[in-house]
């Protein structure tokens, strides 16, 4: 990145890398859960077809070889189809706006991870930064009122501005991404934009916790005035 960075931020990013493994592990687990469900369903369908065939066989005193063959073929096709469809949900940008607020941070993170490979190396730091801050924001969003102005702001940033930025970058043909345009290259512009978003997520997280910070400080001050100052 063009801008020099303080050692503190480097540390955060290093921590973010470590955390990334855990985050991706969670995300993959989620995806595997979905796959297992799909495979289970495929096996169940296969078993149902077999049971039905055997039942009919017993009832009709045996089936012809051709029927058995056809049944097997049907079972195979059903198994294959069910284990491939429906496809594992890969969060898409237009789906982000419909996601529940509590899951917004997680979905955004998955979406961003899916996009990671399409983005330039210089942007990786910024993406990790966003990842860490999303992690921090996630529990706060769970308790936020869905219709409040704060929720609207968060939604706008995560489901609109961030995908907007990344998508408009990925639409640019790779050959042009490092050619200068409007003062700097698209890659640099992307990195700058991602940094702004990371900072903004941090600021939002701080805003959301302001009331709690104040409440704790107030309680502390109250205890002081009630039990210490008065002797």
Partner 1 sequence: MALATDQASEELKLTPPDPVPVVKPEKAAGLVPVDEEQKSRLQVRVDEFVEDLVAQDSNSPEFGRRVDQITNMGRKEIAEAAGQSNRFLDRPIRAMDETSGVGADLAELRRTVEDLDPSTKGDLTTRRKIFGIIPFGSKLRNYFDSYKSAQSHISAILARLQGGKDELLMDNAAIDVERQNLWKAMGKLEQMVFMSKALDETLEQKAADLDHTDPAKAKALRETALFYVRQRTQDLLTQMAVTVQGYLALDLVKKNNVELIKGVDRASTTTVGALRTAVTVAQAMTNQRLVLDQITALNTTTANIIDATGQMLKDNTARIHQQAASSTIPLETLSRAFQNIYDTMDSIDTFKLQALDSMKQTVTSLEGEIGKSKAYIARAQGQSEGAAAGDGKAVKSMLEALD
Residues of this chain that interact with partner 1 (CB under 8 A) are 3, 161, 164-165, 168, 182-184, 189, 192-193, 195-196, 214, 217-222, 224-226, 230-231
Q: Which residues contact 162 (CB under 8 A, 6 or more apart)?
A: 108, 112, 130, 197
Query: In terms of CB distance, is 94 or 199 closer to partner 1?
Result: 199
From the CB of 206, what's the least distance to partner 1, in Å?
A: 11
Query: In terms of CB distance, is 66 or 211 closer to partner 1?
Result: 211
Distance between CA 221 and CA 230 in Å, rounded? 13
From the CB of 156, what's the least distance to partner 1, in Å?
A: 10
Distance between CA 92 and CA 100 in Å, rounded? 14
- DSSP class of residue 183 equals T
For residue 115, give the 3-state DSSP assignment: helix
Distance between CA 85 and CA 72 in Å, rounded? 20
Query: In terms of CB distance, is 46 or 112 closer to partner 1?
Result: 112
Query: In terms of CB distance, is 39 or 215 closer to partner 1?
Result: 215
Query: In terms of CB distance, is 111 or 169 closer to partner 1?
Result: 169
From the CB of 225, what's the least distance to partner 1, in Å?
A: 5
From the CB of 116, what's the least distance to partner 1, in Å?
A: 19
- DSSP class of residue 181 equals B
Contact criterion met (CB below 8 Å) for 78 and 46: yes
From the CB of 198, what's the least distance to partner 1, in Å?
A: 11
Contact criterion met (CB below 8 Å) for 129 and 59: no
From the CB of 140, what's the least distance to partner 1, in Å?
A: 18
Helix or strand holding residue 174 (H, E): none
Residue labelled with tokens 């997520």: 201
Query: In terms of CB distance, is 3 or 117 closer to partner 1?
Result: 3
Q: Distances in Å between the alpha carbon of 152 and those of 100, 107, 111, 131?
A: 12, 16, 20, 20
Q: Closest Cα partner for 187 from 162, 166, 202?
A: 166
Query: In terms of CB distance, is 11 or 224 closer to partner 1?
Result: 224
From the CB of 228, what's the least distance to partner 1, in Å?
A: 12
């Amino acid at each position: 990145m063009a801008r020099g960075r303080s050692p503190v931020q480097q540390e955060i990013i290093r921590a973010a890398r470590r955390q990334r493994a855990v985050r991706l592990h969670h995300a993959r687990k989620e995806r595997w859960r979905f796959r297992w469900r799909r495979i289970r369903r495929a096996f169940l369908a296969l078993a149902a077809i077999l049971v039905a065939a055997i039942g009919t066989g017993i009832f009709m005193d045996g089936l012809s070889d051709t029927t058995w063959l056809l049944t097997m073929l049907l079972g195979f096709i059903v198994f294959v189809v069910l284990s491939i469809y429906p496809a594992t949900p890969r969060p898409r940008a237009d789906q982000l706006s419909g996601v529940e607020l509590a899951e917004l941070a997680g979905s955004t993170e998955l979406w961003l991870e899916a996009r990671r490979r399409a983005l330039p190396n210089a942007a990786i730091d910024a993406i990790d930064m966003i990842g860490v801050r999303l992690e921090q924001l996630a529990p706060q969003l769970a308790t936020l009122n869905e219709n409040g102005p704060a929720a609207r702001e968060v939604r706008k940033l995560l489901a609109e501005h961030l995908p907007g930025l990344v998508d408009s970058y990925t639409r640019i043909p790779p050959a042009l991404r490092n050619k200068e345009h409007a003062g700097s290259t698209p890659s640099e512009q992307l990195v700058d934009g991602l940094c702004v978003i990371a900072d903004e997520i941090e600021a939002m997280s701080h805003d959301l916790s302001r009331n709690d910070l104040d409440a704790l400080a107030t309680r502390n001050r109250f205890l002081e005035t009630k039990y210490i100052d008065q002797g």
